[in-house]
Structure 1
Amino acid sequence: MVKQQVLEAQASRIEQVLASHKIAARVWGGRVTPRYVQFHVTTAWGTRLSRVVSLSEEIAMALGARNCRIQRRNGALEIEVPLEEVRGVSFLSILKQVRHVPPYTALLGVDEANHPLFVRLPSPEVAHVLVAGTTGCGKTALLRSMILSLALGNRRSALQMVLIDPKQRGFAPLKDLPHLLRPIICETPEALETLQALVREMLRRDREGRSEPRIAVFVDELADLAQEGGASCTELLTRLAQRGREAGIHLVVGTQKPTSQIAGPLFKSNFPVRLVGRVASPEDARVAAGIGGTGAERLLGRGDFLAVASGEVIRFQSAYADAGETRFILRHLGPGGRWEGVRAQCLQAEPVEEGKAIQPRQWAQRFLRR
């Protein structure tokens, strides 16, 4: 835990750096997140943002940090200084804080205020989710946490899942998940056959006016699937993205190459919610987020993500279920995917104190947080 005296000293150093360049400012805050310390800066009227941003390396050097991130958000100037020791966010530790999770709701992680952050797939403002980021950003771990939370919160009779894993390793720990419609799919021909079957199911449900049981389709690497499957693969995914929500079919697609050349038409308007980890360039950040100026190319990696929806951005640290937690959850999930009993067993080791549990509320009709 970072001591208050350390935070105050860091704030003073930032003020000194700014003062040395004749920028009058007051630095306050020092809010500690799992990945960084966030300071708020108040400058004199008329101070240009570019003057402060140009001092990022000098500020980082004064604080003994490897770098720092300076941005304007909600009308205020913020400086983010990465922590030397990264605090991981345990999957089960987050669930211990939450009293109730609505059906079809996936856990993402914790926001900057350390409040649990969720996304509800059937919401009209969600429907499908794109998860983008380079190798090492924590994309696959985030997908696995979303899958596990959906499995814990829904019986198989209400929610079924299809896992497509072209890399043949990302979803392997989940092979015994009772909610799977079929074994994990690793080969492109089988993936195409499954997508075709899902399109037929979508059309059948449209005719019958049905949307249940809901089906969540997770793809660990869209670029590999699109390149090997060609135009037919992209076309099938696009049809599911455009018409799947009404039929209860939801896509959660991961990619480390969020380029317009890979699946431009698929990206454009079919993924209202984007979860963006660190990417290689500002252009990749723009394509992945669907908007410019998010700064996703400057994220810290290892679970540091932005949730983007309707032009709004929330930074969060993704939940991580290690091998032990994953095995424990799968071992207690019965063939039908029990919820309450499993949740009690998973959380009984460290029961939540009375009055400490969090009842998540809906935020902007998209995310669920405290």
Structure 2
Amino acid sequence: MILSMLYKSTPEDVRFIMIDPKMLELSIYEGIPHLLSEVVTDMKDASNALRWCVGEMERRYKLMSALGVRNLKGFNDKLKMAAEAGHPIHDPLWQPGDSMDAEPPLLEKLPYIVVVVDEFADLIMVVGKKVEELIARIAQKARAAGIHLILATQRPSVDVITGLIKANIPTRVAFTVSTKTDSRTILDQGGAESLLGMGDMLYLPPGSSHTIRVHGAFASDDDVHAVVNDWKARGKPQYIEAITQAEQSADSLLPGEKPEGDEDVDPLFDQVVEHVTETRRGSVSGVQRRFKIGYNRAARIVEQLEAQGIVSAPGHNGNREVLAPPPIKDV
């Protein structure tokens, strides 16, 4: 499946986040320009990557809402038509003071993001229920934002493939399993225990209770290496460091969850206070651009400012009022 997408799509169309607890299956794709981060092998980093996806999903929804479109295809089509008409679209979420620019930056095409998790049973066992809830939240809402999940496991037990995950993963594929119980865990019906192996599979399409028996193509290591090496020769990956960093924002937190280490003040906190009180602008994007940090970290700092009473809660239009007085200048 991954190889098929690499054949058809450029890095401008599709980007990947690959999580590989076994450090074997997906490490072969390390270095391709489609990757948003290095192949994730540490389970804590994997949890952070899923949390970043939730934050990115919310950001994309705000952009699509501002442009009046329903999905990522509509968003990209609208940008393309506007550019061809000679009227490119500026960032509608930008506010004066967000950067040194006199006008908002132009919006750019957003790629689809595919999150591939190999053996997510390890992820569930190591990190716990939080990962299950993050996966469910992404599966519930992220499709319209162009973010998709591929989950794989060799242990189809009910403590791994839980009811919450099954309810939010409509498309399922089962290869050969040992028992009818395992087949029911994956497909809600038997049949996978009778498959022949070697790519023989049952496919359950979304919205249907009838499985389709298909045969998957076999791709050798040499085939994969040939495609990977060709893409490596075409360009280098541009990683986003914030993906695996332990940064949490209000958008990426689960209901009722508080940021980890909420009592810890960010090292940039004092500098941000000075900047915000001087410019009288308390937006997340302004802090992000001024201090060249990730969205999640900037959002967390602004939330700390709100907790300290320096800025107000966001109003109905999303703007925050700076409550603290300007800094006193030395005479």
Q: TM-score, normalised by structure 1?
A: 0.49
Contact 1:276/1:296 (<8 A) preserved: yes
> Does structure 1 retain, via aligned residues, the 8 Å contact 2:161–2:185?
no
Say if 1:255 and 1:266 are closer, same or farther in 2 by CA, change over 3 A: farther
* Cα distance per residue 1:87-135 (max 9 Å; x no partner): xxxxxxxxxxxxxxxxxxxxxxxxxxxxxxxxxxxxxxxxxxxxxxxxx
Q: Does 1:194 align with 2:49?
A: yes
Q: Distance in 2 between matches of 1:307 and 1:263?
A: 17
1:232 counterpart = 2:130:
yes
Which secondary structure does the structure 2 equivalent of 1:219 belong to?
strand
SS of residue paired to 1:215? strand
**Amino acid in structure 2 at the alignment position of 1:306:** L
Moved over 3 A (4+): none
Letter in 2 for 1:300: L
- 1:39-97 C-alpha deviation (Å, 9 max, x unpaired): xxxxxxxxxxxxxxxxxxxxxxxxxxxxxxxxxxxxxxxxxxxxxxxxxxxxxxxxxxx
State the shift of 1:288 in Å. 0.5
Structure 2 CA distance for aligned equivalents of residues 223 and 301 of structure 1: 22
How many angstroms apart in 1 are the aligned matches of 2:164 and 2:15? 23
Alignment of 1:1-370 (within 5 A): 146-209=1-64, 211=72, 212-289=110-187, 291-293=188-190, 295-309=191-205, 310-333=208-231, 334-335=234-235
Q: Supply the AA of the counterpart residue of 2:59.
A: R
Matched residue SS, 1:252: strand
Q: SS of the counterpart of 1:261?
A: coil
C-alpha deviations, 1:302-337, integer Å up to 9, x for none? Answer: 211111121222212211221221121122222289
**Aligned partner of 1:160: which letter?**
R
Higher strand share: 1
Where 2:122 maps in the other structure, the secondary structure is helix
Q: Distance in 1 between matches of 2:179 and 2:223?
A: 34
SS at match of 2:203: strand
Q: Name the CA distance, whole Å, in 1 between partners of 2:111 and 2:151.
A: 20
Contact 2:31–2:236 (Cα < 8 Å) also in 1: no
Q: Which runs of 5+ in 2 are unaligned?
A: 65-70, 73-109, 238-331
* TM-score normalised by length of structure 2: 0.55
Equivalenced residue count is: 190
Percent identity over the alignment is 35
Shift of 1:147: 0.8
Query: For 2:121 and 2:57, how far apart are their aligned partners in 1?
Result: 24
Structure 1 runs not aligned, ≥5 long: 1-145, 338-370
| Conservation of the 8 A alpha-carbon contact between 1:237 and 1:266 | no
The answer as to whether partners of 1:220 and 1:253 remain within 8 angstroms in 2 is: yes
Q: Secondary structure at the match of 1:208?
A: helix
Amino acid paired to 2:182: D
Q: Does the Cα contact within 8 Å between 1:299 and 1:305 map onto a contact in 2?
A: yes
